[in-house]
Structure 1
Amino acid sequence: MLKQIKYSVIIPIFNEEEVIQELWQRLHKVLKELDGNSEVIFINDGSYDDSLEILIQIRLSHPEVKIINFSRNFGHQCSLSAGIDHAKGKAVILMDGDLQDAPEAIFGFVEKWKQGYAVVYAIRKKRKENFVKNLTFTLFYRILNALAGLKLPLDAGIFSLMDRKVILALRSMPEQNKYISGLRAYAGFKQIGVPVERGPRFRGEPRVTVVKLFKLAFDGIFSFSTLPLKIATFLGIVSSISAFILGLTGLFFKFILEQDFLNWTYGLTTTFFIGGIQLFFLGIIGEYIGRIYDEVKQRPYYIIDEKIGFQEEVNYYESSQQISE
């Protein structure tokens, strides 16, 4: 008889050989206490250490472990999307593989899910990271919330539980530059946040660089807001009106008062200032055009080298529906 899956846990892995064993021990202990069968989908995102070999060894004694091995490194959001595409559970849990997301917090997520919430996300408190990164995250969430056209929860990252209907909604959003936390909010349904203390990495160096943070921030802002374009239009109108007024004022000073209005240094400064603004907003327009270009190409969001362990399980939700019918 095929096994029915109730809980799916999705974990991207990139060079986490020092963390995987501890992560699995803690997560396995949590899953044993949950009601119903579980699967854990590890996405090996092009690791060049021994992460894949360690995952395969774990699967030998734990058939609930499934592995998706990418052909190369595609990134965190792509890895999560692959897990979402393959998850069979009625409840799907997303978490990082560095143990900054405590597996024990899953109990609180499941409790809220059973109360009827379709999305339960972690509100990260007391991040144990450096001041600059904490400040960057804090500003990012608030700037995105101010710019986006929908209400996004503050300080809510990837760590979350989503009902099957939310997962199906996410699968229907084939965007190339995904910001999954934003898409989760966009999907709607009944959502609630649970305070979770963000721990330090168990071992090793942080995988998220400043460049990757900026890429994620840009994906979030440009995927959910056209406000930067509206600001460009507004400033263009203001600049044109200001230039017209300054022009009339200059003519008045020259022909009526017979005086110089502004000397060449002011004119040169104004030219560089306006030129800088133009280049800045051309960059913003370029970000939108680049994303349109990505969508038009329709390249696969990720490429899988091999899948391990995706033969014997069935979809809990769909099989339950068939039984009830």
Structure 2
Amino acid sequence: MRLTLVVPCYNEIDVIARFHSAVSHELAATGESYEIIYVDDGSTDGTLDVLVEIATGDPSVRYLSFSRNFGKESAMLAGLRHAAGDAVILMDADLQHPPELIRRMLELRVRGFDQVIARRTRAGDPATRTMSARAYYWLINKWSDVELVDGVGDFRLISRRAVEALLELQEYNRFSKGLFAWIGFESIVFEYENVLREDGRSRWSFRKLFEYGLDGLLSFNNKPLRAAIYIGLMLSLIAVAYAIWVVVVAATQGVQMPGYATLIAAIAGLGGLQLVMLGVIGEYIGRIYFETKQRPHYLIKETNLTQTHVVPGSAAGRSL
């Protein structure tokens, strides 16, 4: 079996050499033919220079470098498009995805699974982050058309037919967690202990996490739009009932001076609700806008894809 390892990289100069050493050791121990595809997502810290140096000394390494930062989703898509293996493993370069789990994935792959998924525990995470993550997954599984599992990310082995299925999904706004679940196929999940970043700095700020979570919530359903309809109908019924109540009170008790506090609160509340609903509708319209442009997901600045690589573990080299 030929194996392809796809590794998105963004400003990983402090850890990429250690990662390559560790992952190369694990891949060589499997005895399988393999290639490693590093996708440099527009790094600005010299990561590309290190990748070029690694590729010069290791014929199993291929690299792509984007013209700018297009995001991890685009980096994973580029790696999948250029992967030649019968199975593809996606993993991060920060060593939070333990390389020693590669052999475990291959063992489970032999049993016929199309997706072998590593699920990290939340040991060591702050309690607030754990609670918010559980709440998010509960919400998205209530609303979304696909089921997402807490702790499951991009670290997984994917069979060739599953890769081909993913490549058929050409939408511009990609949410890979949902896409992995949407394609189906036989899957198995195993757990591993949470590992801290080697350089100790996470690039996922609260704003980025919130936007990523919002993408997941909107990418696989139109329930927020339907919720807007239901909330609008409910408020209309409340307004009609209130109007009837005002008429009845005026007819039985006479007209009284209304309270301005109640009026201002109602205007502010309904105005805020309208803005939220307009924002939800705007999100969907914005996604349609980007889809109709049909721009490429990424642009490649530099690559060694035309080179011939000898893949350790194979009987001979092959041209890629």
Same topology, TM > 0.5: yes
The question of whether the paired residues in 1 share the 8 Å contact of 2:67 and 2:299 is answered with: yes
Aligned match of 1:48? 44
Identify the match of residue 195 of structure 1 among 181, 191, 194. Answer: 191
By how many angstroms is 1:261 displaced? 8.4
Gaps spanning 5+ residues in structure 1: where? 315-325
The question of whether the paired residues in 2 share the 8 Å contact of 1:122 and 1:196 is answered with: yes
Q: Distance in 2 between matches of 1:248 and 1:263?
A: 18
Give the SS at the match of 2:30: coil
The question of whether the paired residues in 2 share the 8 Å contact of 1:170 and 1:187 is answered with: yes
Identify the match of residue 161 of structure 1 among 151, 154, 157. Answer: 157
The question of whether the paired residues in 1 share the 8 Å contact of 2:122 and 2:130 is answered with: no
Alignment partner of 1:80 is 2:76: yes
Q: Distance in 1 between matches of 2:121 and 2:291?
A: 35
Structure 1 residues 134-155: Cα deviation after superposition (integer angstroms, max 9, x where no partner): 4443333332222111222232
Identify the match of residue 62 of structure 1 among 33, 58, 61. Answer: 58
TM-score where L is the length of structure 2 = 0.92
Structure 1 residues 234-260: Cα deviation after superposition (integer angstroms, max 9, x where no partner): 100000000001001101111222153
By how many angstroms is 1:128 displaced? 3.9
TM-score where L is the length of structure 1 = 0.91
Q: Distance in 1 between matches of 2:130 and 2:306?
A: 38
Identify the match of residue 24 of structure 2 among 15, 21, 28. Answer: 28
Aligned match of 1:303? 299
Aligned match of 1:105? 101
Counterpart residue type for residue 153 of structure 1: V
Aligned match of 2:318? none
Gaps spanning 5+ residues in structure 2: where? 311-320
Instruction: Choose 130-139 or 208-217, whichever is displaced more.
Output: 130-139
Q: Distance in 2 between matches of 1:128 and 1:81?
A: 31
The question of whether the paired residues in 2 share the 8 Å contact of 1:65 and 1:309 is answered with: no
Aligned match of 1:176? 172
Q: Distance in 1 between matches of 2:132 and 2:76?
A: 22
Aligned match of 1:240? 236
Aligned match of 2:114? 118
Instruction: Choose 69-78 or 135-144, whichever is displaced more.
Output: 135-144
Alignment partner of 1:258 is 2:254: yes
Aligned match of 1:322? none
By how many angstroms is 1:104 displaced? 0.9
The question of whether the paired residues in 2 share the 8 Å contact of 1:152 and 1:185 is answered with: yes
Q: Distance in 1 between matches of 2:219 and 2:306?
A: 32
Q: Distance in 2 between matches of 1:203 and 1:290?
A: 36
Identify the match of residue 227 of structure 2 among 227, 231, 252. Answer: 231
Counterpart residue type for residue 285 of structure 1: I
Alignment partner of 1:210 is 2:206: yes
The question of whether the paired residues in 1 share the 8 Å contact of 2:133 and 2:150 is answered with: no
Q: Distance in 1 between matches of 2:124 and 2:40?
A: 26
By how many angstroms is 1:169 displaced? 0.5
By how many angstroms is 1:131 displaced? 4.4
Q: What is the Cα-based RMSD across aligned positions, in Å?
A: 1.8
Q: Distance in 2 between matches of 1:262 and 1:47?
A: 62
By how many angstroms is 1:207 displaced? 1.6
Aligned match of 1:318? none
The question of whether the paired residues in 1 share the 8 Å contact of 2:38 and 2:63 is answered with: yes
By how many angstroms is 1:210 displaced? 1.9
Instruction: Choose 99-108 or 138-147, whichever is displaced more.
Output: 138-147
Give the SS at the match of 1:176: coil
The question of whether the paired residues in 2 share the 8 Å contact of 1:138 and 1:155 is answered with: no
Instruction: Choose 261-270 or 194-203, whichever is displaced more.
Output: 261-270
Aligned match of 2:284? 288
By how many angstroms is 1:7 displaced? 0.7
CA 1:304–1:178: 2 relative to 1, 3 Å: same
By how many angstroms is 1:106 displaced? 1.4
